Amino acid sequence: MGSKSRNKGAGFENQVAKLVSAALGVTYKRTPLSGGWAKGNKIAAGDLVPIDSEQRFCFECKKVEGWALDGFFSGNRALFSSWWQQLLDECPVGIMPVLVFSRNRAPIYVAVRKKDYTFLESSCLIVEEAGEELLIILLEALLRHFHSS
């Protein structure tokens, strides 16, 4: 992975950390070594970690070109599937996995397990992945819900 790609990923993780921090009222930062530090450290899994709170969510952030939302309808979602599997592999039991993804000049989306967020069903795309139903929604819509509750 080149430095441009690393910088793009780091910038995206910082952007998401700010948005999540503001909505949840908990300070989130990038995990040291861009998530590599979390391997084997179940206290800090994923790309973002809470600084002043217990970890309730495992965030995996992907800003990657080469995918499109219409891929969910055409069956062309290999990138998404690999991201979701990576998240599941890193996410400790009892922590809610949250996949945050975007590409240049596109909105930021999240994928979450339907069973964790049933209150969102009316405003989401529902897909099946790894034997689970997932909800795909705009990050801002999910964060609005947390900010208002």
| Phi-psi map region of 105: left, alpha, beta (phi>0 left; psi -120 to 50 alpha) | left
The reply to whether 147 falls in a domain is no
The reply to whether 130 falls in a domain is no
Q: Write out pLDDT tens, residues 13-44.
A: 999 999 999 999 999 999 876 545 445 444 56
* Model-wide pTM > 0.85: yes
Number of domains in the chain: 1
Q: Write out pLDDT tens, residues 63-116.
A: 999 898 888 888 788 999 999 999 999 899 899 999 999 999 999 999 999 998
More confident position, 6 or 69? 69
The reply to whether 126 falls in a domain is no
**Per-residue tokens: 14:** 């910082």
The reply to whether 115 falls in a domain is no
- Residue span of the structural domain in which 60 resides: 3-108
Alpha-carbon gap, residue 55 to 87, rounded angstroms: 15
Cα 30 to Cα 1, 11, 126, distances in angstroms: 18, 10, 28
Consecutive H or E run containing 131: none
